[in-house]
Amino acid sequence: MKLRPLHDRVIIKRLEAETKSAGGIVIPDAAAEKPVKGEVLAAGTGKIQEDGKVRPMAVKVGDIVLFGKYSGTEVKVDGQELLVMREEDLIAVVEK
Amino acid sequence: MKLRPLHDRVIIKRLEAETKSAGGIVIPDAAAEKPVKGEVLAAGTGKIQEDGKVRPMAVKVGDIVLFGKYSGTEVKVDGQELLVMREEDLIAVVEK
Amino acid sequence: MKLRPLHDRVIIKRLEAETKSAGGIVIPDAAAEKPVKGEVLAAGTGKIQEDGKVRPMAVKVGDIVLFGKYSGTEVKVDGQELLVMREEDLIAVVEK
Amino acid sequence: MKLRPLHDRVIIKRLEAETKSAGGIVIPDAAAEKPVKGEVLAAGTGKIQEDGKVRPMAVKVGDIVLFGKYSGTEVKVDGQELLVMREEDLIAVVEK
Amino acid sequence: MKLRPLHDRVIIKRLEAETKSAGGIVIPDAAAEKPVKGEVLAAGTGKIQEDGKVRPMAVKVGDIVLFGKYSGTEVKVDGQELLVMREEDLIAVVEK
Amino acid sequence: MKLRPLHDRVIIKRLEAETKSAGGIVIPDAAAEKPVKGEVLAAGTGKIQEDGKVRPMAVKVGDIVLFGKYSGTEVKVDGQELLVMREEDLIAVVEK
Amino acid sequence: MKLRPLHDRVIIKRLEAETKSAGGIVIPDAAAEKPVKGEVLAAGTGKIQEDGKVRPMAVKVGDIVLFGKYSGTEVKVDGQELLVMREEDLIAVVEK
């Protein structure tokens, strides 16, 4: 069973915050609005512009992304905690 | 008797939250804004854009969708509890 | 004496909430924002778009519609309690 | 001395609420947001659209209109209490 | 020394509220949002539309205008109390 | 060292409020939102319109301008207290 | 490991506020909304306009910029405290 996000929504699997290390991204534990890292599991077809055209997504399945801690809505699929949010809630893509 | 939703509204029949199982979607009971699963019973013709054109709906009758727990307005039709909401309140379509 | 609603407004005569029966729509009594059923007595010519064109109404005189309990403004015409609201406050049309 | 309303504003002379009678419109006394009936004494040239064009007014001098009780700004011209409001504050025109 | 208002702003000199007389406009003293009469001393070139074009002003220097009591910002130029506000804060022009 | 304001921002050096004199602009001391006079030290290239084009600034370096007392953000450059604000926060240009 | 900001976001490394000196920018310590100086480490491809086109960024990697003290979201990359914000949160570029 799979989820197909509508429009500009993405489905994200949270990745554990890494501890400080070479090349690792450290998310401060106490920050109230700390960003969170995750992997894009599914992405919509894109945001519908005011003229009705679809703007392709800037992220794709497999991308590692940063987003706000409280962004999105949590869903459980196949026993796995996932997040659904809009592309505009994404802050940055972690380049590999 | 049937309801014809206006513009970008959809009429949805809630589906019971499933327990954790193979391929099942589990909606956490305690989440304040937990998503809910439902089946689209009727859909409007689409959202009217600012230029007056109608944007076709991204969901169709029979689709299983996720939405926010408090989204929409409840109506009773033929003794059946239904939900009316806008397409933009829908989060994702569950692919079969 | 008749009222001609401006632009995208409609004039509606509330219909009594029916009790649960075959084919009847039951409006729950205790819901804070329960929808209400009514008949469209008059409709404006349509909403004026940002480009100045008029978008025809999606409902017409005689349509039975659902709307939010607190939508619209009440007026009394010929001793009859009526409601004036915008088309966007309408939720759905009851198909006959 | 006359007032020329700017853009989409209208100048209105309130008409007394009529008591319940054949063909009379009765404005309920106790309603917090009760509509009020008035006559259009002057009307602007129309609302300026986002593209700079002027949209002609939907009401004209002499029209009897309904509006919200607290809509508009009161002015006194020649000892006469008048109301200045925008066309969008008007609810409906009473057809003669 | 002169002020050149930017875009759709006007500079206005308040005129004293007249007492009730033939052809005089009477501004009620106790009204919380009572309109005020003034003369346009300077006007900007016009509001810049979303497409970048300038929409000419609907008032010109010398016009007598009505506006809300608390509209605009007060400035003193050459010992004279003036008001700076946007054209959209103007209600009507008093025709001579 | 110089600051280059982005888009429609301007950098302004406050000018002391003058006392009442021939041709002087007097800023009332006690006004809560009293306008302030300043000189434009630097100006951005202009506001980016919704269609992506740049709208040239209506003020230029050297202009004496009026603005709201609390408009803008204060910065210190070379020990000099400056203000950074948007062009739309400017009220008028003082013509020389 | 690098971060690629989405759309009109920039990644910034805060620079210490300098004390008052020749050519130095002094950020007042007590200001509630004091601007902060930083270096642009990465920049998105640009803001997506309403017509779907991408508007190029007005800043580039290496630019020294001023921004509001509380602008953006803090992230830690390789043990380095960084800021992610939108281009519109940037006030000015410090010219070298």
What are the pLDDT tens digits along chain A (96 aa)? 688 999 999 999 998 755 444 455 554 544 434 568 899 999 999 988 877 788 899 999 999 999 877 788 888 777 788 899 999 999 999 987
Q: Does B78 touch chain C (CB under 8 A)?
A: yes
Contact A79 B27 (CB under 8 A): no
Contact F23 E1 (CB under 8 A): yes
Percent of chain B exceeding pLDDT 90 equals 38
| Higher local confidence (pLDDT), D66 or B24 | D66
Q: Does C36 touch chain D (CB under 8 A)?
A: no
| G55: pLDDT strictly greater than 50 | yes
Contact C94 B9 (CB under 8 A): no
Minimal CA separation from G69 to chain A, in Å: 16
Q: Which of A68-77, B44-53, F27-36, F87-96 is predicted least confidently?
A: F27-36
Q: Residue A90 and residue G7: Cα distance in Å, rounded?
A: 10
Q: Which of G54, D59, A48 is nearest to B51 (CA)?
A: A48
Q: Does C23 touch chain B (CB under 8 A)?
A: yes
The shortest CB-CB distance from A84 to any of B26, B87, B92 is to B92
Q: Which of A70, A69, A71, A60 is nearest to A93 (CA)?
A: A60
First to last CA, chain D: 29
- Which one of 2.30.33.40, 1.20.1250.20, 2.70.98.40, 3.40.50.1820 gives the CATH number of domain C9-93? 2.30.33.40
Amino acid found at A30: A
Mean pLDDT confidence for E47-64: 88
Q: Which of D12, D10, D14, D17 is nearest to D31 (CA)?
A: D17
Q: Does F5 touch chain G (CB under 8 A)?
A: yes
Q: Residue A40 and residue A84: Cα distance in Å, rounded?
A: 10
First to last CA, chain G: 29
The shortest CB-CB distance from F51 to any of G51, G91, G93 is to G51
Question: Between β-strands G25-26 and F73-77, what pairing exists: parallel, antiparallel or unpaired?
Answer: antiparallel
Q: Residue A76 and residue C66: Cα distance in Å, rounded?
A: 34
Q: Which chains touch A (3 or more CB pairs under 8 A)?
A: B, G
Minimal CA separation from A70 to chain G, in Å: 13
Question: Touch between chain B and chain E (3+ CB pairs, < 8 Å)?
Answer: no
| D25: pLDDT strictly greater than 90 | no
Residue G22's CB: how many other CB atoms inside 10 A? Answer: 7
Q: Residue A11 and residue A39: Cα distance in Å, rounded?
A: 8
Tell me the two tokens of residue F47.
Answer: 């506001």
Q: Does D29 touch chain E (CB under 8 A)?
A: no
Q: Residue A77 and residue A71: Cα distance in Å, rounded?
A: 18
Q: Which of A4-8, B46-50, E64-68, F10-14 is predicted least confidently?
A: B46-50
Task: Name the 3-class secondary structure at G94.
Answer: strand
Q: Does B27 touch chain A (CB under 8 A)?
A: yes
Q: What is the ipTM score, two decimals? A: 0.72
Tell me the two tokens of residue C27.
Answer: 């409006």
Cα angle B59, B64, B65; round to 5 = 70
Residue A78's CB: how many other CB atoms inside 10 A? Answer: 14
First to last CA, chain B: 29
| D74: pLDDT strictly greater than 50 | yes
Q: Is the dihedral of CA C55, C60, C64, C69 positive or negative?
A: positive
Q: Does B15 touch chain A (CB under 8 A)?
A: no
Cα angle A25, A31, A34; round to 5 = 50
Which 52-71 residues of chain B touch chain A by CB within 8 A?
53, 55, 58-59, 66, 68
Query: What is the pLDDT at residue C9?
Result: 94
Phi then psi dihedrals of residue F89, to 5 deg: -85, -10
| Higher local confidence (pLDDT), B69 or B61 | B61
Amino acid found at A21: S
Minimal CA separation from E75 to chain F, in Å: 6
Q: Residue E7 and residue E43: Cα distance in Å, rounded?
A: 8
Q: Is the dihedral of CA F48, F50, F51, F57 positive or negative?
A: negative
Q: Residue E27 and residue D75: Cα distance in Å, rounded?
A: 6
Q: Residue F90 and residue F71: Cα distance in Å, rounded?
A: 9
| Higher local confidence (pLDDT), F7 or C35 | F7
The shortest CB-CB distance from F92 to any of E51, E52, E84 is to E84
Phi then psi dihedrals of residue A79, to 5 deg: 75, 10
Question: Touch between chain G and chain D (3+ CB pairs, < 8 Å)?
Answer: no
Query: What is the pLDDT at residue G8?
Result: 93
Gyration radius (Cα) of chain G, Å: 14
Helices then strands, each counted (H, E), chain B: 0, 10
Q: Does E19 touch chain D (CB under 8 A)?
A: no
Task: Name the 3-class secondary structure at A88.
Answer: helix
Q: Which of F65, F77, F60, F4 is nearest to F36 (CA)?
A: F65
Contact B2 C95 (CB under 8 A): yes
Q: Residue D93 and residue C11: Cα distance in Å, rounded?
A: 12
- Residues of chain E contacting residue D4, judged by C-beta atoms under 8 Å apart: 92-95
| E92: pLDDT strictly greater than 80 | yes
Has this prediction a pTM greater than 0.90? no
Tell me the two tokens of residue G32.
Answer: 């509630």
Phi-psi region for residue D54, left (φ > 0), alpha (ψ -120 to 50) or beta? beta
Residue in chain B nearest A74 by alpha carbon: B34
| E58: pLDDT strictly greater than 80 | yes
Q: Which of B65, B67, B45, B48 is nearest to B57 (CA)?
A: B45
